[in-house]
């Protein structure tokens, strides 16, 4: 041993004696062959021989190290290099007898005399079992807090829990959740009834071999009674259970008993997943090592893990419930199947987003046999987005009933969105996302075979011609809905040949498509059934719905049947009223319309033509359109709007539009560059 110049051999011997007598650590002096020369034992239970019999034995013969070769290599390395090895963690078991494994912090230093000759090594072994157990528990708890709850999905949360606790806290982990909780329903109060079913949502084990399970993941059944599983959810207290062949309650659960025996499980902790007195589920942890059974500290750790998991599960449940409500609202807002008008065939694709969407589509009839096609989305998620979508849809329908042009309709819809945003700004900030939206509004006119389209911050539609040519319609776009200032909205009218397919979609479809031209590739065969085209687009999408609802609305256009339209030019003279009535009567007779409808139509024609002659300007034109409804239109060159009023008893006129409103199912005024058209619809 190297001797300090300031101390004498006597002092060195005294220090060494005190060190070996009073040190809280195991001290061993080994010769260069790693045989024990001197020893101080603080853990006699680790040795099968008394201290006096240890001298001269090899260290790996004396201690049952978990990795003896590693310890031996460490000591030999210190002997060779002289560089001390500090605080290496080594597992040690009692020598010659079964028992738990202890963790020791091992440090090795080389011993030299005054001439530098190597005498051996000094080995210090400090028992850090409890310290490392606390650290391991903190690591498990930290892993749970970091990994569990990253998603708002009940099943995914349980799977995250299993990955976080195996193998750090358990060799086998099982998570069972009240089945109603998986669907977002409020959890039941404790005590949990024996008949309440639980769903096994996650299972994990350490080791590469397939582990036998009592029940497969996804199995739904009530917990057996009497067992620690059921009792834990009855009183919300954890259970620490030793498992063995004579465990009495195993007879009540033969399938679980078989799985426990096959896995070699020796110790079990059942911890309730509970929050505010409600029962969400059960966490079951198993250890298979006979020498490493659970203790009360492990129970405390399991309860902390379960408490964090229960909070995450409740958040996921609440989200699932809100997501379900939002999807229900959205589903009721969307038409179950877009109606196919005489001149328009439609099909749709709707892939809801993971976060609950604010995307929608609609098709509805307009006057003059026209069809409105709408696709849009609003910012946000959940109930807020769904209710906003409902408000915007109602506003769009109301504005469309006024026969507004697409650009004017979007301008008024934007005013509505700005007004809603201002109302929302004074409310508590439940939804931090500002009210923003995008929309494409198109009107197809089968009589002119044109489509007028306006955009509000929305992707442009794609048109597929009958010969297979496809094109993205690069149209001017106004600002997104909810923008107080911005450029004006613009409408573009394009010709649409018979058999063309128009594709309207939301931006998330582009994010989920493998390439930018996916939609055009599918539409290159526009003669296929529209639903087949929608399905083809769906099958090509990536599984990526995090950007919002994927919506695709396809519309195949056709001209209106020529034999279902009749048009006459009318003289600007009072005698034209009788002529118009005669034209209408003759045409309706040819169409086979019943006498009551003929009589009603004659009266409507009479009143509309009379108003046009009195208050309108040439040219005058009468048109009848026979579709699912019978539409009567009278056009004149005066853009001034007629006004419906209730005439007094002594008034000689002023009842024309009032009479029309009483006779027709619906009526309105449509404006154009060359005047206005007053129309009235009747149900056939």
pLDDT band at 33 (very low <50, low <70, confident <90, very high): confident
Q: How confident is the model at residue 456 (pLDDT cuts 50, 70, 90)?
A: very high
Report d(CA 677, CA 668) in Å as an integer: 8
* pLDDT tens-place string over residues 81-96: 889 888 888 888 777 6
DSSP per residue, 127-145: E-HHHHHHHHHHHHHHHHH
Q: What pLDDT is attached to residue 639?
A: 85
Q: Is the pLDDT of residue 254 over 50?
A: yes
Which of 14-23, 130-139, 234-243, 433-442 has the least mean pLDDT?
Answer: 14-23
Beta bridge partners of 525: none
| Residue intervals in the chain for CATH 3.30.565.10 | 562-683
**Topology of domain 562-683, per CATH?**
Heat Shock Protein 90 (3.30.565)
Segment among 41-50, 352-361, 600-609 with least mean pLDDT: 41-50
Instruction: Please tell me what DSSP assigns to residue 218.
Output: T
* Cis amide linkage into residue 619, ω under 30° from 0: yes
In the predicted model, is pLDDT for residue 291 greater than 70? no
Q: What is the mean pLDDT of residues 280-288?
A: 94
Is the per-residue pLDDT at 442 higher than 90?
A: yes
Pairing of strands 477-478, 450-456: parallel
The topology (CATH level 3) of 9-127 is Beta-Lactamase (3.30.450)
What proportion of the chain, given as a percentage, has pLDDT over 70? 86
Q: How confident is the model at residue 653 (pLDDT cuts 50, 70, 90)?
A: very low
The answer for residues whose C-beta is within 8 angstroms of residue 183's C-beta and 6 or more apart is 320, 324
Domain with CATH 3.30.450.40 in the chain: 133-323
Q: What percent of the chain has pLDDT over 90?
A: 44
**Mean pLDDT, the chain, integer:** 85
Q: In the 8-state DSSP scheme, what is residue 1?
A: -
Q: How do residues 154-195 score in pLDDT, each as one tens digit?
A: 999 999 999 999 999 999 999 999 998 998 888 998 888 888
pLDDT of residue 477: 92
Q: Give the residue from 463, 454, 312 showing the smallest Cα distance to 375.
A: 454
* 619 or 646, which is more confident: 619
Give pLDDT, residue 651.
40
Integer Cα distance of 591 and 570 in angstroms: 21
Whole-number pLDDT of residue 474: 92
CB 40 within 8 A of CB 23: yes
Q: Give the right CATH number for 336-557 from 2.60.420.10, 3.60.40.10, 3.10.580.10, 3.40.50.2300.
A: 3.60.40.10
21 pLDDT higher than 70: no
Q: Band of the pLDDT at 79, cuts 50, 70, 90?
A: confident
**CATH superfamily membership of 133-323:** GAF domain (3.30.450.40)
Q: What is the pLDDT of residue 289?
A: 77
Q: Is the pLDDT of residue 271 over 50?
A: yes
Secondary structure class of 124 (helix, strand, coil)? strand
**β-bridge partners, 55:** none
Cβ(461)–Cβ(473) under 8 Å?
yes
Residue 649: band (very low, low, confident or very high) from pLDDT cuts 50, 70, 90: very low
Lowest pLDDT segment from 110-114, 227-231, 528-532, 576-580: 110-114
Residue intervals of the chain classified under CATH 3.30.450.20 are 9-127
Q: Lowest-pLDDT range, 62-66, 258-262, 454-458?
A: 62-66
- Are 601 and 584 within 8 A, CB to CB? yes
Predicted local confidence at residue 515, as pLDDT: 87
293 has a pLDDT exceeding 80: yes
């Amino acid at each position: 041993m190297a001797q300090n110049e300031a101390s004498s051999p006597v002092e060195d011997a005294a220090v060494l004696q005190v060190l070996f007598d009073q040190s809280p650590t195991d001290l061993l002096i080994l010769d260069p062959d790693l045989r024990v020369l001197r020893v101080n034992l603080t853990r006699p239970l680790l040795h099968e021989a008394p201290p006096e019999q240890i001298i001269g034995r090899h260290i790996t013969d004396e201690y049952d190290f978990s990795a003896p070769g590693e310890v031996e290599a460490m000591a030999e390395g210190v002997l060779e290099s002289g560089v001390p090895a500090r605080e290496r963690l080594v597992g040690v078991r009692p020598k010659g007898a079964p028992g738990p494994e202890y963790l020791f912090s091992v440090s090795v230093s080389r011993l030299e005399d005054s001439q530098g000759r190597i005498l051996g090594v000094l080995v210090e072994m400090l028992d850090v079992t409890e310290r490392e157990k606390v650290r391991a528990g903190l690591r498990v708890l930290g892993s749970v807090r970091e990994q569990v709850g990253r998603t708002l999905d009940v099943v995914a949360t349980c799977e995250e829990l299993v990955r976080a606790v195996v193998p750090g806290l358990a060799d086998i982990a099982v998570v069972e959740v009240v089945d109603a909780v998986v669907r977002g329903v409020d959890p039941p109060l404790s005590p949990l009834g024996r008949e309440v079913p639980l769903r096994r949502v996650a299972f994990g084990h350490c080791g590469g071999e397939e582990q036998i399970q009592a029940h497969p993941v996804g199995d739904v059944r009530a917990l057996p009674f009497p067992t620690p599983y059921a009792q834990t959810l009855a009183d919300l207290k954890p259970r620490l259970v030793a498992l063995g062949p004579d465990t009495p309650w195993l007879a009540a659960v033969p399938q679980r008993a078989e799985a426990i025996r096959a896995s070699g499980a020796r110790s079990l902790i059942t911890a309730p997943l509970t929050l505010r007195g409600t029962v969400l589920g059960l966490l079951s942890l198993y250890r298979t090592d006979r020498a490493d059974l659970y203790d009360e500290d492990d129970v405390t750790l399991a309860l902390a893990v379960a408490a964090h998991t229960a909070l995450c599960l409740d958040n996921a449940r609440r989200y699932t419930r809100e997501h379900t409500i939002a999807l229900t609202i959205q589903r009721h807002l969307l038409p179950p199947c877009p109606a196919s008008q005489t001149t328009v065939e439609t099909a749709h694709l709707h892939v809801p987003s993971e976060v609950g969407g604010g995307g929608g589509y609609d098709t509805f009839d307009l006057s003059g046999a026209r069809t409105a096609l709408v696709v849009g989305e609003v910012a946000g998620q959940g109930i807020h987005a769904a209710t906003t979508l409902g408000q915007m849809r109602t506003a769009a329908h109301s504005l469309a009933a006024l026969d507004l042009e697409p650009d004017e309709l979007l301008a008024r819809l934007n005013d509505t969105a700005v007004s809603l945003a201002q109302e929302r700004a004074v409310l508590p900030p439940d939804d931090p996302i500002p009210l923003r939206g995008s929309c494409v509004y198109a009107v197809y006119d089968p009589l002119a075979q044109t489509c007028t389209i306006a955009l509000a911050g929305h992707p442009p539609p794609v048109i597929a011609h009958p010969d297979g040519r496809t094109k993205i319609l690069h149209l001017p776009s106004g600002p997104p809905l909810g923008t107080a200032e911005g450029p004006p909205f613009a409408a573009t009218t394009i010709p649409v040949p018979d058999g063309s397919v128009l594709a309207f979609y939301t931006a998330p479809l582009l994010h989920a498509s493998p390439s930018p031209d996916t939609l055009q590739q599918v539409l290159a065969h526009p003669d296929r059934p529209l639903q087949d085209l929608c399905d083809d687009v769906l099958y090509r999408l990536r599984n990526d719905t995090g950007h919002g609802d994927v919506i695709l609305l396809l519309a195949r256009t056709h001209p209106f049947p020529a034999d279902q339209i009749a048009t006459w030019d009318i003289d600007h003279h009072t005698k034209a009223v009788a002529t118009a009535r005669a034209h209408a009567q003759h045409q309706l007779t040819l169409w086979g319309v019943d006498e009551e409808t003929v009589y009603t139509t004659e009266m409507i024609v009479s009143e509309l033509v009379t108003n046009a002659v009195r208050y309108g300007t040439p040219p005058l034109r009468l048109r009848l359109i026979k579709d699912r409804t019978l539409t009567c239109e009278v056009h004149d060159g005066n853009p001034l709007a007629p006004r419906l009023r209730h005439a007094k008893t002594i008034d000689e006129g002023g009842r024309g539009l009032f009479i029309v409103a009483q006779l027709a199912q619906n009526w309105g005024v449509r404006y154009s560059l060359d005047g206005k058209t007053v129309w009235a619809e009747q149900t056939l």
